[in-house]
Each structure stands twice: as structure tokens, then as C-alpha cells.
Amino acid sequence: METIANSVFDSEEQQHAAIQRLSYAFELQRRDFLKALGGGVLVCLAVKNAVTQESGHTQHAASDEDLPNSIAAWLHVSEDGTVTVFTGKVEIGQNIRTSLSQQVAEELRVPLASVQLTMADTELTPFDMGTFGSRTTPIMGRQLRTVAMAARNLLIDMAAQQLHADRNTLVAADGKIRDPKSNHTISYGELTKGQQLTRVIGEDPPETAASDWHAAGASAPKVDARAFVTGQHKYTPDLVRPGMLYGKVLRPAAFHASLGSLDSSEAEKIAGVKVVRDGEFVGVVAPDEHTATKALQALRAKWNSPPQIGDSQLFEHLKSKSEPSSGEHNLHVTGDVQKAMAAAHKAITKSYTVAYIAHCPLEPRAAVAEWSGDKLTVWTGTQRPFGVQEELASAFRIPKETIRVIVPDTGAAYGGKHMGDAAVEAARLAKSAGKPVKLVWTREEEFTWAYFRPAGVIEVNAATGSDGKITAWEFHNYNSGPAGIGTPYDIPNQHIQFHPADSPLRQGSYRGLAATANHFVRESAMDELAHEAGVDPLEFRLRNLTDPRLRAVLEAAAKKLGWGKEKSSGSRGFGIAGGVEKGGYVATCAEVEISPSREVRITRVVEAFECGAIVNPGGLRNQIEGSIVQAIGGALFEAIRFDNGRILNPHFAQYRVPRFSDTPEIEVEMLDRKDLPSAGAGETPIVGLAPAVGNAIFAATGIRLRSLPMIPEGLPQAHPAEA
Amino acid sequence: MAIPLLVNGTEHRVDAPSGEALLTVLRDRLGLTGTKYGCGEGQCGACTVLLDGKPVRSCRLALGTASQKKITTIEGLAQGEHLHPVQETFLRAEAFQCAYCTSGMIMSAVALLDKNPHPSSQEIIRHMDGNICRCGTYPRILAAIRDAALRNR
């Protein structure tokens, strides 16, 4: 299904952003870099196309004539042996600063501590489309290993010359090259002294097999971890620039509202305050946050708001305002579903819904903007520094070459920081203020003016034969998205379709995208089919599944849980769910307790995950555990409430996120497939929790919950009306 | 009129309105940015500091109220290079991902262990429930606090 999903269904970029590839005048940059870096060895990786480079295996030694204009990464070994790697990826808590460093250390044969990553700075790092889609490990990780390997080979060549030795006998380890014959060693730093060597390489596969990894493949502590436990790390909201002012933006009273009138006289009376108005954009700057807030509150604005629908009409709206499918786009059909449904032994026809939810990164969207003449520098927490650079260029009608976007390691994003709203706003305020401006969104702004995970309606019709094999699978997703929409089960007749719709709220990427919604529906419906067929849910899945990797995680999770050892009862239920997405295979088992007062508590979660060769087991485990905890919110209680262009619950007191007391016992089983390429793992571990919990609740109570969140107001007393 | 403020053992005089939140005083006027803004509503715990040893949400506390009291922030925990035991156990458990919540988590945990050196798991959960980690590292944070409590024995 993966190949189908990749070809027929919209990719993440198509869905949420039409991001154009930038082209680079590489020669100029290379010269700039050598100047900035001083002596040493610089290795650059050239790729044909940064989006689809999986197939590129160029063997040529690039000459200046055939230099491609896409450089994906570069690595510098300095005269003191320091290794600096430049990548446009951002660190947002997924721990890639560490896992990428490990991979460089592995192929370059240097201690982890000598590797430094310069990340996400449009002036220093190569273009990168963005940090999303679980692509860092499979693509950037592989590219950095290739660059590091090339650097090592270059250093070995240099050593062979200096030591007058046969390069094939030389051994690189621990930042040094040793000639076993003479026992001479020479460090990388010594080798690069007085050199200014540049090499451009193509995409050869990395040399070191995962089974031979030392630096990679083992847990490594988070790079700079000490700075985080001592409060020393500077996130964007912590930055200070000379003369910096504090900004606030006046938000409309409702979505799509237009500004009728503005009285800013009271605000302007406050010492040090400047009011900035540009069309519909209104903001204030002040010498401190407290004064800026007071000034914002002193603005008197009248807004004209058009009537808008509320959440009670949402699902009806999404279905009625959906687009008809256009040809084969967003559609996958095999066999004849109608015929198979008509011949069903057992069949289900069900409708599921998914609410909008908010990302709630604890670090709100924030930016510090500084103009210096025509040059603009913005520090901001974003997943797409080069995309934000383009947004700024477009907003201020200036060439993007005059804009520098820098992303400090950021307080999370979860797919929510693709856009540069805070950057554009801070830059607009700074332009009028004539001074650097810091803008940090309030939590209420976060809950209101960011974008949401798409809501959706998902309909499924499915049938089984008398042998408990699935014969028909029809699946329609309205608005929530096409990610993970396929089925990994062996079903001869399928009709799978994504229907884009008019979303009343601004929506966009969210960790795992629609794979969470599509897995919830598919794996719940699998449970419904198993129940109809009278087959154990695990046995039913395995009966309809040949994919060995998915079978392996299902069996591993079931074994660790002790599936089938204890039967579900009225007070305790067990559920299972599995899936494949973005190269990761996941199976989740959940155990829920239903108290006599009908409170639902997830008491235990067992998750098996496989994503090829594991780069950093400790970091991977952290991602899996975190995904499970985060998934609890969307599964049980998180939902954005809205009416008439206003968010009704824009505070943590009203929008419940998982807390310590919601956290179950979590057991993680990681299957390390050293024979397979590493896939990303920041997203897919999130998709199995909701259906596993829903299935467990059903096993305990007989109540099938078909909406995410499942129990925002507690467990329903009676069985919800069949859809 | 400058307001006196005792932070991490240092006496400051702050030229700010007494109604200003302690959080922005610490961050913007004293440069102590380890304490974070997460919600401004006392709901997430990212801004937790100790006031005379008790955990408080500095986003909801006025400068005037905090004056004359002993304030401890994340920057005041380590003794030179020597980390506080709770910082050590957070490091050891890798009890963070993006780590934006970490300062508040550590300050809340320090307050708990100062008052109750051997808390039960239920007591830890109850005490920490006002601190949000959106990355979901709660199991690791619990492990780190339990580990720190063991060192109290």
C-alpha cells in the first residue's frame, strides 16, 4: 500500500504547502564557506533532487562543470580535528541533533563529542524542505553517513601519501589514521593542517553495515543535555537583542473578521508604546512585555464578523462540502467491492468521525526579528526555515537572499510549526519600530491562530467470507487526510478514497498526519469485523495478513502483553491494533479499566515497533513512549470546540491534554532489523494507541466508540446510536 | 521606585510595576530565562519557581507579592559545576525531549522532595499533575524523581 499511497494520494507537501525547490549558486557559496571555515577539508554532498533521491547512486567524481545545484549537506574537518556538519534540519525534541551526530561519528570514525551540528540557518546550512514526514533518519541520516564516509576516505588518501603507505592497509579510528605496519598514527587535524580541500560527492551508499555500527546503533545521551536541565539553553523566546522591544498583535474577534474601526489613542498614551497599523494588521511594541500587554488591552477595535458554523454542524459540513474525486487522483481501486459486498457472509457499514485537535507545543510560536538596513534576520521556532524565508520575502517583497532565518533548538512542534506567522508578524513590528522585536504568542493565540489537525468523517464498508477472510474493503476519508489510508491486509476487492473538503478551521500537518485517524478507523473496523465473524481480534488480523514485518510486531506486542491469557470482563478490557506508515511497523496493545462509576483508565500499554536498523535505541524508546502518551489525548478527550469563528476552549483549563495521572504503565518492544535501512520514528508510534484503546473499551463494555476523541464527557451510558 | 527581590541568594532591586508577573521580571529584567512561559494561566507548570521553598507559578504571581521572599529558579539549583541531585537524575533518565518543560518539572520535583523525601508514586503523580510535558515523557520524569528519592535514603 505504501507505493500506492506515495503515487496516488497527495503527499504532505502537496497537502499543506506548495514548496518550491530553491536553486543555489554553489560556486559562490563554496568560496564563502572556505573563507568562513578556514583551513581543513570540506566535503559536500550533491543530490539530483532533494525530494526523491532514494534512487540516486551517482558514482562520478563531480567536476565543476557538472556540479548540480542541489547540495544537501556538507561536512568540515578543521585543523584541530573538530568536525562540523551543516544541515537544514531542525531539532524540535525528536533528538536528531544526537542521532545524526552518531551517524557522522560512525562513518567518519571519530568520537561522538567531536561532532558538532550546525542546523537550520538559511545562511549557513544547505537548503532543506523542512523537518517533517519522518524523513530525517532515512534521508538526511543516510546522506550524512555518505558525506562522512567520503571525508574518511579522503583523509585516508591523504594519510597514505603522508605516511607513504598503502591506503588499503590504513585503519581509521577515533579521529586518527594508523598504519599497522609502521604503527604510525596521524590525527585528522594534523592531516588537514594547511589544507583547503573541497570535494563534491554523489550519493554513494554508506559503507558501514548496521551490524558493524559502534557509535550508531547504541544509545547516546542527548547532545547538550546539561544545558536543558540547568535552564541554560536559549529557545527563541529566551533570546535578547540590543535595544529589543516586545511586541503584541491585535487579533480579530473571530476568524475572517474585518477591522471596522480602531481607536488606539489610549494605548499610544502609554510611555514607550508604539502602535503599528498596516491594513488589517495591528500590533504594539513596548520596552517590556508587561507594558506591551497593557497597550494591547488599551486598543479599542470593532470587528465585523461573518456568521460561521460551529462544531455541532462540522461533520455534516465536511461531507456536503467535499470535492468529488477527480479521475484516479486520491483513489485506489482493485477488484469489485460492490460485488463482494453483495456476496458477503458478514458485513459492516460504519461511519466514524475525528475532531480538530491542537498541537500545543509548550514553546509557543515565537520570533525575534531584526532589520539591519535592508537585511532581515529572524530567529524563530519553525520546522521549515527556508519556507519561512520565502514567506518573509513574499510578505516584505524583498529578495530572499537578504533574509536570514535561524532556528534555535525548539520547544517542540509536532507538525504545528510549518508556517512563519510569528516571524512575519515580528518582522512587521520591527520594521516600524526600527528596533529588534520579540513576539511570543500567548497560549490563547496558540489555541486560536495556529492551525489544527484536520477533522474528518471516515466511512467504511467491509465484508468477510465464511472463512473469516476479508473480501471487501471500502474506505472514504472526508477531509482528515490520505496518510495511512491504505490497508496492509490481504483484501482482493478495495475501494479507498480521500475526499478533500472545505475546512471551516485552518488546518495543517500534525504528527503522523491522518495516519492516526485512518488507523483508528481501520483498526476499529477490523475489530468490528472480527467480532461479527466470531474470531479473536489478533487471530483475525493474522488470518488476513501476509506482510511479515507487520505480523512480527503484532506477535511481539501480543506476546509481551500476554494476549489471550486473561479474558476481557466488564471492568477490564484488552485491545490490539497494528499498522504500517512511513516505513515504520507498529502494534499496540492496550489494557483499560472501567471503574464501577464508569470511569475509563488506560492502565497498561504495550507497543512493538520496528523501523529497520535502530540508530539510537534510547532516543527511539523515548519517541515511542512519548507518542503513546501524546496519543492518549486525541484518543480520549482532546477536541477543539468552536462556534461562529471563535474557539470556545483556548486554554489548558478547558482543553485537556494528557498529564501524569493519565499515564499508564508503558512497555516498549523495539525490533532491531539491522538488515533493513533505518526509517524515521517520530510519528508512526502514535497511530496504534487510539484503536487499541477503543477496542479494549469495546471488549470490556460492548460499547463501540466511533469518534475521536472517544470519551470527552466520559463513557456513554448506553450504546451510541449506530451510524 | 525599585522593588527588592531576592533571587538565588542575590538581592536585586527591580524597577518594575509591583503588579508585573514575577515570570517576566525574572526572564526579561534579570535575564533568568531558564524559567519558561507556557500558558500564562498557571495551568502548565513551565514557569514554576520556589518561593520560600514552595512551588509557585511565576506567571500568576505579582512582583510585589514575591518581594521580601526567597526565590529559587532553575539557575539557582546547581552549586557551581555540581548539579542538584534532581538535575542529575533527569539527565540520567533522559527525562525530556524538547525539554521546554524541564525547568518547571525539576523545580516542582525539588519542592516535593524537599518536603517529602520519600514520596509514594501516587504522591509524586498528585504533586506533579499540574506540570505538562506535551512530548509525553512522564514515565521518565517519574523514574527520575523516584531515583532522586532513592538517593535521599
Residue B102 to residue A229, Cβ atoms within 8 A? yes
Domain segments of chain B as ranges: 3-76, 85-150
The vertex-A7 CA angle with A331 and A493, nearest 5°, equals 40
Beta bridge partners of A602: A592
pLDDT in tens, B96-146: 999 999 999 999 999 999 999 999 999 999 999 999 999 999 999 999 999
- Picking from B32, B34, B136, the nearest residue to A626 by CB comes out as B136
| CA dist., res. B121 & res. B124, Å (int) | 5
Which band of pLDDT confidence, cut at 50, 70 and 90, is reported for residue A10? low
Pairing between β-strand A331-334 and β-strand A493-499 as defined by DSSP bridges: antiparallel
- Picking from A234, A288, A652, the nearest residue to B24 by CB comes out as A288
Kindly state whether residues A178 and A288 are assigned to the same domain.
Answer: no
Kindly state whether residues A551 and A645 are assigned to the same domain.
Answer: yes
Architecture in CATH of B85-150? Orthogonal Bundle (1.10)
Kindly state whether residues A348 and A381 are assigned to the same domain.
Answer: no
pLDDT beyond 60 at A13: no
Task: Show residues of chain B in contact with A222, CB under 8 Å.
Answer: 94, 96
Which band of pLDDT confidence, cut at 50, 70 and 90, is reported for residue A6? very low
Kindly state whether residues A48 and A173 are assigned to the same domain.
Answer: yes
pLDDT beyond 50 at A43: yes
pLDDT beyond 80 at A516: yes
Look at phi and psi of residue A621 and say left if phi exceeds 0, alpha if psi is from -120 to 50, else beta.
alpha
pLDDT beyond 60 at A31: no
pLDDT beyond 50 at B94: yes
Q: What is the chain A residue with the closest CA to B16?
A: A290
Q: Which of A440, A471, A487 is the last residue of a domain?
A: A440
Beta bridge partners of A278: A281
Which band of pLDDT confidence, cut at 50, 70 and 90, is reported for residue A528? very high
Kindly state whether residues A331 and A290 are assigned to the same domain.
Answer: no
- Write down the pLDDT at residue A24: 31
The residues in B 9-28 lying below 8 A from A, measured between CB atoms, are 16-17, 20-21, 24, 27-28
- Write down the pLDDT at residue A338: 97
Kindly state whether residues A259 and A189 are assigned to the same domain.
Answer: no
Mean pLDDT of A84-101: 96
- Picking from A238, A411, A443, the nearest residue to B98 by CB comes out as A411
C-beta neighbour count of A214 within 10 angstroms = 12
- DSSP element (H, E) containing A629: helix A617-632
| CA dist., res. A239 & res. A234, Å (int) | 6
| CA dist., res. B138 & res. B128, Å (int) | 10
Give a yes or no: residue A718 inside a domain.
no
pLDDT in tens, A62-74: 333 333 446 778 8
pLDDT in tens, A49-58: 543 333 333 3
| CA dist., res. B75 & res. A422, Å (int) | 28
| Highest mean pLDDT: which range of A3-12, A46-55, A207-216 | A207-216
DSSP line for chain B: --EEEEETTEEEEE-S-TTSBHHHIIIIIS--TTS--S-SSSSS-TTEEEETTEEEEGGGSBHHHHTTSEEE-GGGTSBTTB--HHHHHHHHHT--SS-TTHHHHHHHHHHHHHH-SS--HHHHHHHHTT---TT--HHHHHHHHHHHHHTT-
- Picking from A361, A440, A660, the nearest residue to B125 by CB comes out as A660
Mean pLDDT of B23-50: 98
- Write down the pLDDT at residue A33: 60
| CA dist., res. A436 & res. A244, Å (int) | 5
Mean pLDDT of A293-315: 98
- Write down the pLDDT at residue A9: 77
Residue B24 to residue A412, Cβ atoms within 8 A? no
- Write down the pLDDT at residue A60: 34
C-beta neighbour count of A430 within 10 angstroms = 28
| CA dist., res. A10 & res. A133, Å (int) | 13
Cell 506508515 sits at which residue? Answer: A581
Query: Dihedral of CA A285/A289/A290/A296: which sign?
Result: positive
Angle between helices B138-150 and B102-115 (to 10 degrees): 40
| CA dist., res. B67 & res. B6, Å (int) | 7
Pairing between β-strand A572-581 and β-strand A584-594 as defined by DSSP bridges: antiparallel
- Asked if ipTM goes beyond 0.90, one says yes
Which band of pLDDT confidence, cut at 50, 70 and 90, is reported for residue B150? very high
Mean pLDDT of A694-718: 95
- Picking from A228, A364, A651, the nearest residue to B43 by CB comes out as A651
The residues in A 91-120 lying below 8 A from B, measured between CB atoms, are 92-95
Whole-number percent of chain A with pLDDT over 70: 91
- Write down the pLDDT at residue A22: 30
Interface test with B, best of A99, A229, A601, A649 (most B CBs within 10 A): A229
The residues in A 215-234 lying below 8 A from B, measured between CB atoms, are 221-222, 225-226, 228-234
pLDDT in tens, A577-586: 999 999 999 9
* Sheet strands (E) in A421-541: 437-440, 456-464, 470-478, 493-499
| CA dist., res. B45 & res. A242, Å (int) | 30
Give a yes or no: residue A717 inside a domain.
no
Kindly state whether residues A268 and A333 are assigned to the same domain.
Answer: no
Pairing between β-strand B48-51 and β-strand A403-406 as defined by DSSP bridges: unpaired
* Superfamily of B3-76 according to CATH: Beta-grasp domain (3.10.20.30)
- Picking from A364, A412, A663, the nearest residue to B135 by CB comes out as A412
pLDDT beyond 80 at A179: yes
pLDDT in tens, A652-690: 999 999 999 999 999 999 999 999 999 999 999 999 999
User: In total, how many domains does chain A have?
Assistant: 3
Residue A627 to residue B41, Cβ atoms within 8 A? no
- Write down the pLDDT at residue A1: 40
Q: Note whether A298 and A282 are within 8 A (CB).
A: no
- Write down the pLDDT at residue A2: 40
| CA dist., res. A636 & res. A710, Å (int) | 5
Region of poorest pLDDT, from A76-85, A484-493, B118-127: A76-85
Mean pLDDT of A179-191: 95
Which band of pLDDT confidence, cut at 50, 70 and 90, is reported for residue A14? low
**Average pLDDT score, chain B:** 97
* CA distances (Å), origin B1, targets A442, B13, B14, B16: 29, 9, 8, 8
Residue B134 to residue A623, Cβ atoms within 8 A? no
> CB neighbours of A275 closer than 8 A, spacing ≥ 6?
A264, A267, A268, A282, A283, A284, A295, A299
- Write down the pLDDT at residue A59: 33
Domain of A593 in residue numbering reads as 321-357+452-708
Kindly state whether residues A60 and A200 are assigned to the same domain.
Answer: yes
Q: Kindly state whether A458 is in contact with chain B, defined as any CB-CB distance less than 8 angstroms.
A: no
* Sheet strands (E) in A465-541: 470-478, 493-499
Residue B97 to residue A95, Cβ atoms within 8 A? yes
Determine phi and psi for A172, rounding to 5 degrees.
-100, 125
| CA dist., res. A386 & res. A18, Å (int) | 13
- DSSP element (H, E) containing A603: strand A600-610
Residue A288 to residue B138, Cβ atoms within 8 A? no
pLDDT in tens, B67-81: 999 999 999 999 999
Beta bridge partners of A370: A377
Kindly state whether residues A194 and A60 are assigned to the same domain.
Answer: yes
Q: Report, in angstroms and rounded to the nearest whole number, the Rg of chain B calculated over CA atoms.
A: 15
Residue A653 to residue B41, Cβ atoms within 8 A? yes
- Write down the pLDDT at residue A201: 86
Which band of pLDDT confidence, cut at 50, 70 and 90, is reported for residue A8? confident
Kindly state whether residues A375 and A335 are assigned to the same domain.
Answer: no
Task: Show residues of chain B in contact with A94, CB under 8 Å.
Answer: 97
pLDDT beyond 80 at A15: no
How far does B146 lie from chain A, in Å, by closest CA?
14
* CA distances (Å), origin A274, targets A245, A266, A395, A432, B20: 10, 11, 21, 9, 20
- Which one-letter amino acid corresponds to residue A545? L
Q: Note whether A554 and A367 are within 8 A (CB).
A: no
pLDDT in tens, A248-284: 999 999 999 999 999 999 999 999 999 999 999 999 9
Q: What is the chain A residue with the closest CA to B137?
A: A626
* CA distances (Å), origin B3, targets A138, B69, B76: 55, 12, 20
Q: Kindly state whether A361 is in contact with chain B, defined as any CB-CB distance less than 8 angstroms.
A: yes
Question: Long-range contacts of range A254-258, CB-CB < 8 Å, 24 or more positions apart?
Answer: A254/A303, A254/A305, A254/A308, A254/A644, A254/A645, A254/A646, A255/A305, A255/A308, A255/A505, A255/A506, A255/A645, A255/A646, A256/A305, A256/A306, A256/A308, A256/A645, A257/A303, A257/A304, A257/A305, A257/A306, A257/A645, A258/A303, A258/A304
- Write down the pLDDT at residue B2: 94
Kindly state whether residues A522 and A585 are assigned to the same domain.
Answer: yes
CATH number of the domain within which A372 lies: 3.30.365.10
Q: Note whether A244 and A436 are within 8 A (CB).
A: yes
How far does A416 lie from chain B, in Å, by closest CA?
13
Kindly state whether residues A409 and A341 are assigned to the same domain.
Answer: no
pLDDT in tens, A585-644: 999 999 999 999 999 999 999 999 999 999 999 999 999 999 999 999 999 999 999 999
- Picking from A629, A630, A652, the nearest residue to B41 by CB comes out as A652
Interface test with A, best of B22, B30, B37 (most A CBs within 10 A): B37
Nearest to A262 by CA among A271, A288, A253: A253
| CA dist., res. A551 & res. A545, Å (int) | 7
Look at phi and psi of residue A66 and say left if phi exceeds 0, alpha if psi is from -120 to 50, else beta.
alpha
Q: Which of A177, A198, A229 is the last residue of a domain?
A: A229
pLDDT in tens, A98-129: 999 999 999 999 999 999 999 999 999 999 99
